[in-house]
Amino acid sequence: MSIRNLIILSQLNPPSQRSHVLERNRITQKLVRAINYPLTILEAGTGYGKSTSILSFINSQECPIYWFTISGTERDPKLFLAKLFTAFNQHDYPIGDETLKTIDTPEATSTEALIAFVNAVTTHITQEAYLVLDDFHLVSDVPDVLGYLDWIIEHLPSKLHVIISTRHALNFPSLNKWRVKDEVLIITRDDLAFTGEEIARLFDQQYGITLSESAIDQVLNKTEGWAIGLQMIWQTLQNNPNMTIQQVLDDEHQSKSALFDYLAEEVLEGLEPRIREFLIKTSILSKLESATCDFLLTIDHSNVLLDHLNNSGLFIEELRPGVFRYHQMFRSFLLDQFRAEPSQLIDLHLKIASYFRAHEYWEEALYHLLSAGDYYQVNQILESIGKPLIQDGRKESINYWIHEIPEPERKNYPYLIYLLGEVHRYLGSFDDALEYYHQAERLYRARQYSFGISQALRGQGQVFLDTIRPINGDQLLQDALKLLDPKEMPREVADLLVLIAENQLNLGYPDNAEKLLWQASELMPDLELETDFIQARVFLRTGRLKEGIKLLMDREANNPSLPHSRPQRFHRESTLLLSLYHSMLGESEQAEKYAHQGIEIGRQLRSKFVQSVGFMRLGHALLIREQSPFTNQYFMQAMQLFQDSIDQIDVARIHVEPLWGMCRALGYMSQFSKAEKLAIESLAIAEKAGDEWISILIRLSLGAGAIFDHKYESAQRYLASAESSALRVKDTFTLCVSRLWLAIKAWQQGYQNTAFSYFEKCLALIIEHGYDFILTRETLIGLKDREAIYPLVLAAYSNGVESNFLNLILHQRGISGLDYHPGYTLWVQTFGNFNVWRGDHLIDIKDWKREKARQFFQILVVQRGKWVHKDQIYEWLWPETSGEKSVTYLKVVFNAVNQALEPNRPRGEAPFFIERSQEYFRLNPKARIIVDADLFLKEISQGTLHGNENAFNLYQGRYFESNPVSEWLTHEEQYYHQQFVLVADHLLNAYIEAGEFQRALDITHKILNDDPYWEAGYRAQMLIFHQLGQISMVHEVYHRCVEILKEQLNASISPKTEAIYRKLVSEP
């Protein structure tokens, strides 16, 4: 169903201005200021003249106006965007046409569509223009609609201004930021209420009634300046010529709504019977068109009556030529007139429903059928369009329509119960979905309807598939299949075969899964896209990683995975699968990219489940980043993501993967006891669900963690179990990794031949399946430090184990021909305290033996990438010592440095980390030596918020702070600090704009502790405390800044700081 069929053009044109409208210059001048703001909000209850005020304003403007009247049917975000884009097709150039085409396709991407829309608007709107969103309160409680509009407002060109009318306050995510930056104008009920002077002019100029001063005061007190109340007073007088203004004002109705009903009744009684009948009967329609009204009333002159009503100034407005609507309060009053004849109301609803159903205006048809209580026809329509609408992402609408049927009546329609199960399953409410599926099954069994029973069983099975509980789902899916005849229902049978195939895979039977997928494809060849997702999971669970990535990438190229409106695929989202694939391969950037895309898909689809999986996959990706000892930020971020994933979904089976992630994170941090506790919990859940493959990953990670903690018996137990399970489920990759870890364990224990045996089996799989990456980089279930494997590689090579292949690995690493490698990366911290780590082991200051040895290494770090002549070293370390002594000292220091860096270097082997060439020294460029300052600049170069955050965390103090070499590094120290301040400034602005004030304060505290003269930090603190309403803290920060600058620098604060302070303390 094309989304264009649901677009009603009358919503996208400004209504015609009614007669007898007073031009209020006071309000117009307020709206004139909208040109200075990206967003203007008119916020007031019904009847305060919001739309009328906007119409008066735009009619005075000579610029493009784009109008969208919200009806309430746009609660589905896709429909909202489609109508919004179409609103921009109302002038000479169809600005929204391309984005409308995009969102109308099954592969539509809301993010890409929004970007394309903003780009089109920016390109084609070259003069001041306004977008008006009328009655926005009808969708303001839909988070995605609010979020999309927030994003649009944030990215609009400066020449387009948004004006919104709403009955209540809006909660845009960026509203606080817009207020702080003075980017939003809010016009309230108090602004829109008529003043006494305006009431006098309205009655005099528009109604032809001159009011006395006392009457004006009485009208103002009675109506509180309520526009529709004023109009109703006039209508009452117009339709009751014998009444006086005093008689109207003397009624005893206290509330404004009661006053309206009283006066409306007076108006209605004064009309001709045919006009009164027309008003009452057509009030069931949300929009009034002559064809619809003619059909409803069996007349042929509705156009004449509509024009008459519009010209009379009654409570009707023209949306576009020939299309009208009643004011909501007046419509409610008219509908209330059916109280005495409810059967007539039902007949009218049924009659007009038949009209809308014949024209396939499904929303209108369903509304009137529900109003009439004809649930049989509602069921008929939803049996026809329910599934397609869910596929199109319109779950909210389906849920709303079905719940409009009273629960006792719902039981008469098992398909509607089944449909509720589908809605809740796609929303991730699995317990609710099961309850509906079970209810549908009972109802269908009572009717002995085999296909219905099969549907309900399939739904139950899909819940267990979606939540990866194969034992629970197996029999349900098999039973559902038995009830279907493949000749009569080939598609339904093929769909079930795909589901059973996935369940077989989850049970650890990949061969069965592939056979079933083939059978499904033979039955229905067009199922290729659905089978691809399952086949990709087969490849993942059987170690065919390159094939799996190729399949998913080919699929993504032809069918992008970011559609705005389609059912969620839970853990099967291709981006989420790709993220896990790349984590297994050790490709952190790709893994992070696809995890973020998966989280975005979850947000677009409003799926906590997909977001939950996205969080855990992002956690995995962070764990394979360079896990430096400088900061544990990636470890902490990953642990938080795993916890967020668990918190998102209350389904125990879904918790297995994030629990595994925590187990892996803790185990690789040598916290084996904590890791084992989590592993036991996750293994129990996985084994209960029947998923052996995920159990292998848990045991592998725990076995590796046991090795890091030197608990070799535990390592043997978990790794041997992982190896046997990998053989059983036919996963060559986890089999290969289990043998790698078994080889490493044996090597560390000193069992060389056992290590060679496991390593030889591992290498055979690496060579056969192209797994060489597990020897050359950190991966999710592989190496923590890529350098750790080389002692074993060198020994195996020298003993003739797969010599040709290992020679290639050594050559690629640049260390072929060597007999020795220390087996770890060297990590060097230069910011703040100077520290060096051999892998995970921090070199204690006493391990250097001599301070000059530590300083010698610092010189080489400063001069990294260069040769340093011994004379330079003499000059820096022993400037006042004679030549012969310096030579001796250098020899002693050189030995001490090598002993600190490589304490287990075999006698006679040349040092690995420091090279010497006659009279020159340098850090070995072939050694893996990571310096925090280099990482710092690398993170900054990304130009992203995430990169800046990482750089900020790396900066632990000044470059070589409190070390003698800092005397020679003034320029470098200043450069790094300037970069740090720039990073901090970017983060401050980003956090303040996002309303993350505590994080912004943390930034200022860190910098001011190091640099108490940084005025920008004080200014930021004052702005933050002002936004938080803590004015006393604004004063405190200001005076602290004045005092520090005066006492320590004998300086005054800058005019900029002074001006900001004065502005903040003067504001209420």
Widest Cα–Cα separation across the chain: 125
**Per-residue pLDDT at 896:** 96
Whether the pLDDT of residue 10 is over 60: the answer is no
Whether the pLDDT of residue 16 is over 70: the answer is no
**Per-residue pLDDT at 254:** 46
Whether the pLDDT of residue 426 is over 90: the answer is no
- Asked if CATH classification 1.25.40.10 holds for the domain at 409-544, the reply, yes or no, is yes
Question: What pLDDT, in 10s, does the model give residues 337-389?
Answer: 888 889 999 999 999 999 999 999 999 999 999 999 999 999 999 999 998 88
CB 608 within 8 A of CB 649: yes
**Per-residue pLDDT at 256:** 52
Q: How many CB atoms lie within 10 A of CB 62?
A: 6
**Residue found by looking up tokens 């108090």 in the block:** 190
**Per-residue pLDDT at 466:** 83
| Strand, helix or coil for residue 1045 | helix
Q: What mean pLDDT is predicted for residues 576-595?
A: 95
In angstroms, rounded to a whole number, what is the distance separating the alpha carbons of residues 893 and 853?
5
**Residue found by looking up tokens 């053009």 in the block:** 9
What topology is assigned to 273-340 in CATH? Arc Repressor Mutant, subunit A (1.10.10)
Q: What mean pLDDT is predicted for residues 313-322?
A: 76
Comparing C-alpha atoms, which of 830, 861, 823, 829 is closest to residue 842?
829
Comparing C-alpha atoms, which of 980, 986, 1012 is closest to residue 1000?
986
CATH top-level class of 826-932: mainly alpha
Question: What pLDDT, in 10s, does the model give residues 117-145?
Answer: 888 888 888 889 899 999 898 888 888 88
CB 166 within 8 A of CB 140: yes
Q: Which of 88-102, 592-606, 932-946 has the highest mean pLDDT?
A: 932-946
CB 545 within 8 A of CB 512: no
Whether the pLDDT of residue 211 is over 80: the answer is yes
Whether the pLDDT of residue 253 is over 70: the answer is no
In angstroms, rounded to a whole number, what is the distance separating the alpha carbons of residues 373 and 367?
10
**CA-to-CA dists, residue 440 to 71, 374, 413, 446, angstroms:** 33, 21, 9, 10
Q: In what order do the strands lie in the sheet with 323-326?
A: 288-289, 323-326, 316-320
Q: Which CATH code of 1.25.40.10, 1.10.3720.10, 3.40.640.10, 3.40.50.300 fits the domain covering 969-1066? A: 1.25.40.10
In angstroms, rounded to a whole number, what is the distance separating the alpha carbons of residues 767 and 356?
67
In angstroms, rounded to a whole number, what is the distance separating the alpha carbons of residues 957 and 954?
9
Comparing C-alpha atoms, which of 696, 691, 712 is closest to residue 663?
696
Sorted by where each begins, the domain ranges of the chain are 3-192, 198-269, 273-340, 409-544, 545-632, 651-727, 826-932, 969-1066
**Per-residue pLDDT at 641:** 96
Of 10-14, 214-218, 328-332, which range is least confident? 10-14
Query: What are 429-437's contacts with CB under 8 Å, separation 24+?
Result: 430/463, 430/466, 430/467, 430/651, 433/459, 433/463, 434/460, 434/463, 437/463
Q: How many CB atoms lie within 10 A of CB 851?
A: 13
In angstroms, rounded to a whole number, what is the distance separating the alpha carbons of residues 1015 and 1044?
10
pLDDT band at 555 (very low <50, low <70, confident <90, very high): confident
Q: Which CATH code of 3.40.50.620, 3.40.50.300, 3.40.1280.10, 1.10.760.10 fits the domain covering 3-192? A: 3.40.50.300
Phi and psi for 1057 in degrees, rounded to 5?
-65, -40
Question: What pLDDT, in 10s, does the model give residues 1028-1043?
Answer: 878 889 999 999 999 9
Whether the pLDDT of residue 966 is over 70: the answer is no
Burial per residue of 23-53, b for 16 or more beta-carbon CB atoms within 10 angstroms, e otherwise: ebeebeebbeebeebbbbbbbbebbbbbbbb
pLDDT band at 843 (very low <50, low <70, confident <90, very high): very high
Share of the chain above pLDDT 70, in %: 92
Of 111-125, 463-477, 505-519, 664-678, which range is least confident? 111-125
Question: What pLDDT, in 10s, does the model give residues 650-689?
Answer: 888 889 999 999 999 999 999 999 999 999 999 999 998 8
- Average model confidence (pLDDT) across the chain: 87
Comparing C-alpha atoms, which of 199, 248, 186, 251 is closest to residue 226?
199
Whether the pLDDT of residue 561 is over 50: the answer is no
Provide the token pair at 1: 């169903």
Say if 273-340 and 826-932 have the same CATH topology: yes
pTM of this structure: 0.73
Whether the pLDDT of residue 563 is over 70: the answer is no
